[in-house]
Amino acid sequence: MADYKVVEVLSGKDLKKFIGFPNELYRNCPQYVPALFADQKKSLTDVPSLKYCSHKMWMVMDGKKVVGRICGMINPRYNERYGKKRARFGWFDTVNDTEVAGLLLGTAEKWAAENGMTEIHGPLYYNTLGKQGMLVEGYDNIPPFNCLYNFPYYNDLVTSLGYEKECDWVQYRLRADQALPEKMVAIADRLMSRYKLTEGDIDVLKHDKALVREFFRIYNESFAQSVYNFIPFTDEEIEEEARQTIGLLDKRLCSFLMDENGDIAAFGISFPSISKALQKAKGSMFPFGWIHFLKALRKFDTIDLMINGAAPKWQNTGVSSVYHNIMAKKYRAAGVKWAITNPQIDTNSASFVWEKYEHELYMRRRCYVKSIISK
């Protein structure tokens, strides 16, 4: 009979076990996409979000073997913004055992209650951009690099422990090379002319720090009211995200529109799918993992649609049809066949735009929530 023990992650040795556990758990799963070890270590120990978030990590051990892990987090900016007393959990992975899941979640719940929280929800990240949502549909598909994968039994475990659905995110798979409806193209052309819109230069954006700050300011404003549970970036988070992503933008797959005043009106950001490259790299860029990434960035037929949005004053003006038209032309020119959308709340009207295209449900993710008693 198993003799399980909860261990808090405090040492570098324990952190290595914590990060490495999913690679062992999903060793024979063809859909699982391992995260880079260095990225995970940084996320858990040294990111700007930890300047204001508190967190703790635990593992459940069966002797010397890890059988489960979890990270508990408290984001005071989220609680202040939404008037909640919520903790969140993430990095949740476990063998198919209710006792193990109960020890993991129970430990996170106890810590949350001791810190004055009355609810806990997840799986989530510190802020809005990280991996979030437990997979409930699409288990046969390989997720984008920025999305979680989990076995079906995860949902049975958390619901048996009193967790209920808070919300669902959906992702679609669509032909990236399909032509836009003629009516939509005509509208886009008219709006481009009427509003005197021009396409910005991605290469200029990469080297213009002021424009980058403007981009993220627009990002914060455009999603503040429309994205469920959205938490605006701090200045430090913006700088970190800019360092990590702006230099990787590919003009073949990205676009942003400028209005006649030189302000950013709308944007569309996509990346080549690197999920299979991550699988081949097995969690490390070295010694040969970088080769798989270079190949994935140079030759691809599938892309991940990361973020699409418009500045608040341009929302509900039809400007989305303009950048959709531009992006569709770019995808066809680049030889892209398939696109996977980023997770969007299934009740958000923004997700309905994909109904204009041939599409199929690719994945559905769920956030669970549970009431806890605060001490």
DSSP per residue over 235-255, as a string?
A: HHHHHHHHHHHGGG--TTT-E
Q: How far is CA 204 from CA 155, 200, 208, 209, 265, in A?
A: 45, 8, 6, 10, 16
The answer to whether 145 and 306 have CB atoms below 8 angstroms apart is no
Residues 107, 133, single domain; the answer is yes
Per-residue confidence (pLDDT) for residue 352, from 0 to 100 = 66
Residues 319, 237, single domain; the answer is yes
- In a domain? residue 59: yes
Residues 126, 144, single domain; the answer is yes
Full DSSP string of 158-179: HHHTT-EEEEEEEEEEEETTPP
Residues 249, 304, single domain; the answer is yes
Whether the per-residue pLDDT at 296 is higher than 50: the answer is yes
What is the domain-level CATH number for residue 293? 3.40.630
How does residue 223 score in pLDDT terms, banded at 50, 70 and 90? confident
Per-residue confidence (pLDDT) for residue 181, from 0 to 100 = 78
- Report the domain count for the chain: 2
Per-residue confidence (pLDDT) for residue 349, from 0 to 100 = 65
Residues 181, 330, single domain; the answer is yes
More confident residue, 41 or 235: 41
pTM here?
A: 0.94
- In a domain? residue 107: yes
- In a domain? residue 255: yes
- pLDDT digits over 27-64, tens only? 999 999 999 999 999 999 999 999 999 999 999 999 99
More confident residue, 155 or 238: 155
Strands 264-272 and 255-258: antiparallel
- In a domain? residue 343: no
Per-residue confidence (pLDDT) for residue 119, from 0 to 100 = 98
Per-residue confidence (pLDDT) for residue 214, from 0 to 100 = 87
Residues 163, 223, single domain; the answer is no
Residues 187, 158, single domain; the answer is no
- In a domain? residue 324: yes
Task: Name 370's bridge partners.
Answer: 120
Whether the per-residue pLDDT at 375 is higher than 50: the answer is no
Whether the per-residue pLDDT at 180 is higher than 80: the answer is no
Distance CA 255, CA 267 (A): 6
Q: Quick one: tokens of 343?
A: 């997770």
Mean pLDDT across the stretch 234-244? 89
- In a domain? residue 9: yes
How does residue 173 score in pLDDT terms, banded at 50, 70 and 90? very high
Look up residue 124 and give its DSSP letter. Answer: -
Q: Quick one: tokens of 28?
A: 């024979």
3-state class (DSSP) for residue 90 = strand
The answer to whether 375 and 113 have CB atoms below 8 angstroms apart is yes
**3-class SS string, 60-81:** EEECCEEEEEEEEEECHHHHHH
Residues 207, 324, single domain; the answer is yes
Q: How many CB atoms lie within 10 A of CB 181?
A: 12
Q: Which domain holds residue 223?
A: 177-336
Residues 44, 154, single domain; the answer is yes
Whether the per-residue pLDDT at 355 is higher than 80: the answer is no
- Residue listed under structure tokens 């979890």: 70
The answer to whether 270 and 283 have CB atoms below 8 angstroms apart is no
What is the domain-level CATH number for residue 106? 3.40.630.30
Residue type, 270: S
Whether the per-residue pLDDT at 350 is higher than 70: the answer is no
Strands 338-341 and 65-74: unpaired
Mean pLDDT across the stretch 190-212? 90
Whether the per-residue pLDDT at 252 is higher than 90: the answer is yes
Per-residue confidence (pLDDT) for residue 1, from 0 to 100 = 61
- In a domain? residue 347: no
Q: Which residues contact 333 (CB under 8 A, 6 or more apart)?
A: 252
Residues 163, 184, single domain; the answer is no
Distance CA 220, CA 230 (A): 9
Residues 128, 268, single domain; the answer is no
Whether the per-residue pLDDT at 253 is higher than 90: the answer is yes
- In a domain? residue 354: no
Mean pLDDT of the chain: 92
Residues 100, 240, single domain; the answer is no
Whether the per-residue pLDDT at 123 is higher than 80: the answer is yes
Find the DSSP H helices in the chain.
Answer: 12-25, 37-45, 76-82, 98-114, 153-160, 182-194, 202-207, 209-224, 235-245, 275-281, 289-298, 319-334
